[in-house]
Structures are given as structure tokens and as C-alpha cells.
Structure 1
Amino acid sequence: MQPSKARSGALPKQKRLAAFIYLVAGGALLGLSTNVAKLAGDAQLSPLAFLFWSITGAALILLAVAALRSNLPPVTGRTLEYYLVSAFVGVAGSNLIFFSAIPHIGAGFVALVITLPPLLTYVGALIVKLERFQMTRAIGVMSALAGAVTLAAHKLSAPDADYVWILLALAGPVLLAIGNLYRTLRWPAGVSGDALAPGMLVAAAALLFSVGLLPGFSLGIPSGQRLPLLLIALQSMVFAGQFLLLFLLQKTGGPVLLSLLGSVGAVVGVPVAIVLQGEAAPEGLLPGALLIGTGIALLNIGKARQLA
């Protein structure tokens, strides 16, 4: 069954439970990944090199699992298109933006920015008719957007605000939302999520490798140090779990539920950044988080009413 079928009816109870488990676990891994990226920057790993080697490691892990299950990614014209487009918007492009922005604006702010895809995905789903309009969910979108604007305004008003990186970070959720919708609309018929995930990661690694060949970019790892290699290994395992859960959630819950991964990720990522990494809490955190949380709650309430 393709994930687009989720547009028309209620999910069985067991699938709703599975979707909830995938959402919580995948979101926790997402929140963890932003903080590991902050540690990688402190260890003198460039965002591109760290992302490339971590994605390559995750691809190898998922390919090994797929081979053991005799469920390797199929290679056809349709699936190659799917891997490449999904890799660019959902992995390589968006994560390169986020990882590059972390040293400039902090892991906590980036973790909050990643809460925006549910709103953008819902608006896009309305446009392409994957969702029908509902006032409760529309109010939720407006509330969460107001929260995002509050956070961005406080960040931009800071004396040392890095306007370029703040605006670039805000572009990342747009790519994620496009990816959420694309993967649902173009999911290849008869192919499972655990076969598509490694295919997407292989394509993402290839895209990042091609960027590394451009002048001024490098995929090099600091020599004579164990910490960068340990962080790459850790992020590879995090990415492998995160993107496998992403596809499982996409199939069971659809694009809007999938996009809540960022919200769960913020619940993990922001406290870790503040408590364990010593970052200052983002300005406007309380009102911004309350508005975003209210918006997400309204989105979920509206979805529950649709499924009732």
C-alpha cells in the first residue's frame, strides 16, 4: 500500500500506535542529531564532511540490513528519480543548511526551526489536495507560524545577529516540507520503506560527494584524532535509525504526521543544547514555543477529528 492512501480514511488502531512510536523515536533521533552536529563543529569537522561521511555510514548500515532481508533498493528510472529528488530536498540540501547554520546560530535555534515543516507541509497538502481544509488546523498553522516569527524576530534583533544564517536556516524547513509531500505523491508502487531509505541515502551521499569536488569545499577529516571518527560513527547510527523511521512513518501516517518529527526533535534537541552543551536559551523561547506548541496541538486535534 502506498502512503498516499492515508489521505482518504482513518488509520487502523494498530497502525496509529505504530505511527506514534515511529514519530517519537524518529523525532528523538532528529533532536539528537542536531546536537551531535554541534559537537562535530567543535571537533573541527566541516559541516559538509561530517554530513557526507555520516550519510555514507548510514547508507551502508541500511544497505547491509536490506541485503540481509533480501530487500535491496530497486533500480529503475522511477526509483532513481525518487532517490535523487528525495535525497536533495529531504537529506542533502536541508541537512547541509542546518549543519552549516549550527555554528553560527546554535543547535537550540536550529532545533526550533525544524518544528516548522508541519505547517508548511499542511499548507502544501491542502494545495495538492492530500488534505481537506479544516478551521481548527488552519488556526493551528497560524499559531505556529506566529511562534516561528516570534523566535526569528528575537534572533534577528540580537546585537550579534547573523542575518544570513538565520534566513538560510529558515529555508531548511521549506525543503523538508517539499520532501514530505514529494515522497508521498511519488512513492513507487509496491516498494517498501526499508528498501527506499537506503536508496535515498546513497543518492544523498553521491550529491554531497559531488559538492565536495567543487573548489573551496573538502570532505577531509582531521587526522590524528579519534573524536571526529567517533562522532561520525554515532551520527551514522542516528541517521540510519532516523531515516528508516521516517519512511515507516511516511507509509503509516502520511506527510503531515511525518512532518511533526521536527516538533518531537525540538523537545529533545533544545534541552540538550541548553543543559549539556551550555547554549543560552533562544530569546523569545517561551512565547515562541507556546505558540508553536499550540499550533501543533491544534493540527493534531484537527487530524483526530478527521479520523473520527
Structure 2
Amino acid sequence: MTHQQSTRSRRRTWLFPLLLLLSGGLLLGLSTNLAKLAGEIGLAPLALLGWSMTGAAVILLTVAALRRSLPPINPRTLRYYAISALVSVAASNFIFFSAIPHVGASFVALIITLPPLLTYVGALALKMERFQMTRALGVAAALAGAGVLAASQLRMPQADVFWILVALVGPMLLAVGNLYRTLHWPEGVSAEALAPGMVTGAAIMLLLAGFLPGYSLAVPTDRSLPFVLILAQTLIFAGQFQLLFLLQKAGGPVLLSLLGSVGAIVGVPVAIFLQNEAPPQALMPSAALIALGITLVAVGQAKARPKT
């Protein structure tokens, strides 16, 4: 292989994961803002989430069938789909979508950057990772940023303390889901097959939740905008979860850990400038601390990876 061919090969090796990262982050940032818009037109979070997740499941199952990589069905994989769907998709997204009308899309977009850092803390506790000073400092910086952000929100005159605290549970659930999927990944099953299984499980849970007292899957029929939002969110979810697994496979944990950061870069400006949302108090210092933390964790993780 010539030097020029080698350079092109390395460029392709990084370009594809980078495009996956940017695309996935873009979809994540747009998703939080669609949830805010849905609340403003009277579309309940469960209705938006339940129907769009169902649509995404249909799309991913269709793609999996065409690729002949349908999710395997056995007791172990069913348990995996159920638990990962509940923690990583249904419960966490329901919390985020429900909290956005109360705390804002920009606040949620920022705290979605925290799961990889919390995952590292959990991995240390479970002895899945070795302690490393660079990553530990990164976790401390990011959590300090989250603390500054939450404290500034709580000090606001009309702060909704309940929803601020509930929103902070979402990143914890995502971190638990990351650890569970790693520890209990079914042997011999591809990521492409697991994605539709997890999303289908989440869709079933959300549709069943519509029968609980006080919850509804009803969609306003007096105008077409709610259906347009559901369709848009369906496509976003289908792309987002497919890209998530592809990024994990192609780029590894370092790039995957930056997905929430790219989502925040997209989601926060869209919420502030296009939806006229007031920026969170202490936005700049908290965002700077979170960015510093993510950078330190990514650098530390890159140093920890064995050289080939």
C-alpha cells in the first residue's frame, strides 16, 4: 500500500464514525426540541413518545427483516430487550419528554451529556474499569457543571423543583442502561439485531402505559401538526437508535461518549434562538465544566485503549 493509499484509508476510518457522531447528535438535539414544540400544541408526552417509538420499531424491524438480521427470540434476549428498553429508552425518554415543558429543552439537552460520565462512575464501582486520574477529574468537572446548572435553576423565582429533580433522574437511568447492555449483551447477537428488539420492547411498554389512569395516547385531530410531529419524531428515533449502535461498533466508546455533547450543541441553540426559550441560568460556566469533563474522560479513555 502506498503512502497516499494509507492516508486515504486512515481518513475513511475516521470520517465514517465522525459522520455518524454528527448525524446522531443532530437527531438527539432535534428530538428534545420537538418534545417542547409538542407540549406547546397540546400533544401529551406519552402520546408523542408512544406513537413515534412504535413507528420507529416498525421501521427498524422492516430494515432488519430486509437485512435478514431480525432480533432473536429466546428467554435471555427477551429479558435483555425488556430491561434495556425500560431503562435505556422508555423510562428515560418519558422523563425527558415530560420534563421539557417544565424545565426547558436547553436544560434537558445539557444534562443528556452526563450519562457517559455516570456510566464511568458505575463501571468503577462494579470493577469494570480501572481508576484513572484523568477520567476521574473529568467526571468531577462534569458533575460540578451539572450541579451548577441544577443549583442555578433551583434558585430561579418560578423554579419547578420537582421537575428539575425528576429530569436529573433521566441521565442516571441511561447510565444504568449502558452498564446493563454491556454486562448482559447476548453472546453472538449483532448490534443491528439488538436495536429493533430494544425499541420494540420500549414501544410495547409505552403503549401499555396509555391504559394507566391519568395517561392517554390520544392525539389532537383538529389540525395536522401533531401528526407531522409524530412522523418527524418517528424518523428521528429510527435514525437515532440505528446510528447509536453503528457508532458504538465503528467508533468505539470514545466517540460514543461525545454523542450527548453534539446533541447539546444542536439542541441548546435551537431552543434559545428558534423557540425563543430563555437560556438556563449559569449556562456558560456549567456548559464549560461539562465540556471540560467530557474532554478529559474521552482523552483518558483514548489513552487507556491498547495500542495496535
* 1:216 pairs with one of 206, 214, 217: 214
Counterpart residue number, 2:62: 64
Change (3 A) 1:95 1:161: same
Q: Secondary structure in 2 aligned to 1:125? A: helix
Query: Post-superposition shift, 1:303?
Result: 1.5
Counterpart residue number, 1:249: 247
Larger Rg: 2
Counterpart residue number, 2:19: 21
TM-score by structure 1 length?
0.92
TM-score by structure 2 length?
0.92
Query: Post-superposition shift, 1:301?
Result: 1.3
Query: Post-superposition shift, 1:257?
Result: 4.8
How do 1:81-100 and structure 2 match up within 5 A? 81-100=79-98
Q: Is the 8 A contact 1:120 1:177 kept in 2?
A: yes
Counterpart residue number, 1:306: 304
Q: Larger deviation: 290-299 or 180-189?
A: 180-189
Query: Post-superposition shift, 1:266?
Result: 0.5
**Residue 187 of structure 2 corresponds to residue 189 of structure 1:** yes
Query: Post-superposition shift, 1:245?
Result: 1.4
Q: Is the 8 A contact 1:23 1:258 kept in 2?
A: yes
Structure 1 unaligned regions, length at least 5: 1-11
Structure 2 unaligned regions, length at least 5: 1-9
Query: Post-superposition shift, 1:128?
Result: 2.6
The one-character-per-residue Cα deviations of 1:177-216 (angstroms, maximum 9, x if unpaired) are 0111111111111211121111111110111112111111
Taking the aligned partners of 1:295 and 1:272, their CA distance within structure 2 comes to 23
Q: Is the 8 A contact 1:121 1:256 kept in 2?
A: no
Taking the aligned partners of 1:185 and 1:257, their CA distance within structure 2 comes to 20
Query: Post-superposition shift, 1:90?
Result: 0.7
Counterpart residue number, 1:9: none
Q: Larger deviation: 35-44 or 16-25?
A: 16-25
Name the amino acid aligned to 1:76.
N
Counterpart residue number, 1:48: 46
Counterpart residue number, 1:5: none
Counterpart residue number, 1:268: 266
Query: Post-superposition shift, 1:256?
Result: 6.5
Counterpart residue number, 1:134: 132
* 1:156 pairs with one of 131, 138, 154: 154
Taking the aligned partners of 1:110 and 1:228, their CA distance within structure 2 comes to 22
Taking the aligned partners of 1:141 and 1:58, their CA distance within structure 2 comes to 33
Change (3 A) 1:69 1:54: same
Name the amino acid aligned to 2:166.
L
Name the amino acid aligned to 1:177.
A
Change (3 A) 1:200 1:54: same
Q: CA RMSD in A?
A: 1.7
Query: Post-superposition shift, 1:72?
Result: 1.1
* 2:287 pairs with one of 281, 286, 289: 289
Counterpart residue number, 1:175: 173
Taking the aligned partners of 2:254 and 2:115, their CA distance within structure 1 comes to 8
Taking the aligned partners of 2:131 and 2:254, their CA distance within structure 1 comes to 13
Q: Number of aligned pairs?
A: 297
Query: Post-superposition shift, 1:17?
Result: 5.3
Q: Is the 8 A contact 1:121 1:259 kept in 2?
A: no
Name the amino acid aligned to 1:148.
A
Percent of residue pairs identical: 64
Q: Is the 8 A contact 2:71 2:194 kept in 1?
A: yes
Change (3 A) 1:274 1:296: same
